[in-house]
Chain A
Amino acid sequence: MKILIPTPLRPYAAKSDSVELSAETVGQALSQLTSAHPDLRRHLFTDEGKLRSFVNVYLNDEDIRFLSKENTPVLDTDTISIIPSIAGGCCCCPCL
């Protein structure tokens, strides 16, 4: 199955826009993703290992919060999308 990496997170995933993985649940897939790209971890998960609330994860076109969250089963033909909130504008960081 494929995980689509959104633009804001690509710098932390070796600039890839998608990653191919083999996993049985969404949780496993995300875990494999952050093992392969450790810099991604803090952008996706809190220190306690919870998915961050400004990042949504979709299995195909459904939000996993309304499925079985990280336990949602995944098929080889599925696509997981990571959709962070974006606000446009130049940037939200102070003076860079």
Chain B
Amino acid sequence: MAGSVATIPALTNEEILRYSRHLIMPEVGMEGQLKLKAAKVLCIGAGGLGSPLALYLAAAGVGTLGMVDFDVVDFTNLQRQIIHSTADVGRPKLQSAAEKIGAMNPEVELRTFETRLTSQNALELFRDFDIVVDGTDNFATRYLVNDACVLTGKPNVYGSIFRFEGQVSVFATENGPCYRCVYPEPPPPGLVPSCAEGGVLGVLPGLVGVMQATEAIKLILGAGEPLIGRLLLVDALAMKFRELKLRKDPDCPVCGQHRIITKLIDYEQFCGIRGEEKPVENKLPEISVEELKRRRDAGEDLFVLDVREPHEYQICNLGGYLIPLNDLPKRVHELDSSREIVAHCKMGGRSAKAVEFLRQAGFTKVKNLTGGITAWSERVDPKVPKY
């Protein structure tokens, strides 16, 4: 599967010393290290999962490392994307990653692709590599990566995370399942977990990303038992690991016996048109942060309803009355429909749902604060922290 070991020159004395701890292990040895040097691994994403993944693959001596990412380093990334540092904020992630990888192991041939992975470029990109590691953060790209791996015959080392839980597996091997065998369809946008239940334990992509690196290395070496046909689940809070069996679906449209997907599709559409949820269509009554400030300063009787979560209220608040969005249906009796109510959340999305709900419940004097407390921080009072 990896490039021909015979065409890779023997390790230099320097490399022998660098990788000595691999070489003295029978599971790797000189033969294994040469396989690593001959291997070409493509990492999709230089973020939470990509950070530890790329660093460890480079440390292990993978000869050619490809990285795909179009994003720039954001301050909020630093809590978990450990390949980037404070000084890198604002820089393209691949520039930052390339510097750290080059510093750690100059022997690695690093190929960076500062572009979005799309149906137009994926197949060509994947063809030059042996293994693809999926470190992405959205469903559309996951399905794209999976399908492109099946179509090009490259194993897909999968890892995904949510808050403090992770999943790891190896998809798209010849006899094993692919991602679609397990999840034929993505959740519609209205049914994915909301930001109120979002956030992620910083260490979690570290845990999962290194497991992905481990699987990639095992595939290259042909050692141990890779997670083919196995889904590893990790709950970092309980520190419990579980394993579920995965099977290749004979009816899978992309890797089954009767393949109907033989080229890459429009994945945004695939993930977007499944929604049974209708988007909020009617123009909701809104109020800007400037107008809210003006009216509050003028002493007007406005009831500010905060529909965020208690832990968000602790970060910052506008002194509003807190009823988390999910609790609104059972706590609506706490609100006085004769008063003018301004609902807000972090950015305006959850509060829009709250306003929609209240209007359907008969409230006529309720408005949505456009842009939420984030807009308040940006335009009215910068002392209010953004998060």
Which A residues are closer than 8 A to B by beta carbons? 6-8, 10-12, 42-43, 46-47, 52-54, 56, 58, 61-63, 66, 81, 83-96
Contacts and interface: CB of A to CB of B under 8 A. Distances in A.
B160 A87 contact: yes
CB-CB nearest 5 A-B residue pairs: A89-B137, A96-B349, A96-B195, A86-B162, A92-B192
Interface SS of chain A: loop
Interface in B193-222: 193-198, 200, 205
Given A42-B191, A53-B183, A88-B161, A94 B246 contact: no
Nearest to A93: B194
Interface stretch (B13-21, B33-41, B340-348): B340-348
B128 interface: no
Contacts of A46: 276
B139 interface: yes
A86 B165 contact: yes
B164 A7 contact: yes
A88 B161 CA distance: 4
A60 B160 CA distance: 22
Interface in B141-191: 142, 160-165, 167, 182-187, 189, 191
A62 B348 contact: no
Contact of A66 (B48, B242, B247): B247
A7 B185 contact: no
A25 B270 CA distance: 33
Interface of B: 48-49, 136-139, 142, 160-165, 167, 182-187, 189, 191-198, 200, 205, 231, 233, 242-247, 276, 326, 345-350
A96 B346 CA distance: 6
Given A11-B197, A91-B194, 18 more contacts: A7-B164, A11-B326, A52-B191, A53-B185, A54-B187, A83-B231, A85-B182, A85-B183, A86-B165, A88-B49, A88-B161, A88-B205, A89-B137, A90-B137, A90-B198, A93-B192, A96-B194, A96-B347
A95 B200 contact: no
A56 B167 CA distance: 13
A96 B200 CA distance: 16
Nearest to A60: B244
Task: Choose among A8, A53, A81, A90 the residue with the greatest number of B CB atoms under 10 Å from its CB.
Answer: A8
A84 B247 CA distance: 16
Given A88-B162, A91-B195, A53 B142 contact: no
A46 B276 CA distance: 9
A15 B345 CA distance: 21
Contact of B137 (A7, A56, A87): A87
A1 B116 CA distance: 46
A63 B187 contact: no
A11 B195 CA distance: 12
B93 to A, nearest CB: 14
Contacts of B163: 7
A10 B164 CA distance: 13
B244 A63 contact: yes
30 contacts: A6-B165, A7-B165, A8-B193, A10-B197, A11-B196, A43-B191, A53-B185, A54-B185, A61-B243, A62-B244, A62-B245, A63-B245, A63-B246, A83-B231, A85-B160, A85-B182, A85-B187, A86-B160, A86-B161, A86-B167, A87-B136, A87-B142, A90-B195, A92-B139, A93-B194, A94-B189, A96-B194, A96-B196, A96-B346, A96-B350
B147 to A, nearest CB: 15
B182 A56 contact: yes
| Most chain A CB within a 10 A radius of its CB, from B136, B165, B183 | B183
A68 to B, nearest CB: 15
B48 A93 contact: no
Nearest to A12: B326
Nearest to A90: B198
A83 B161 CA distance: 13
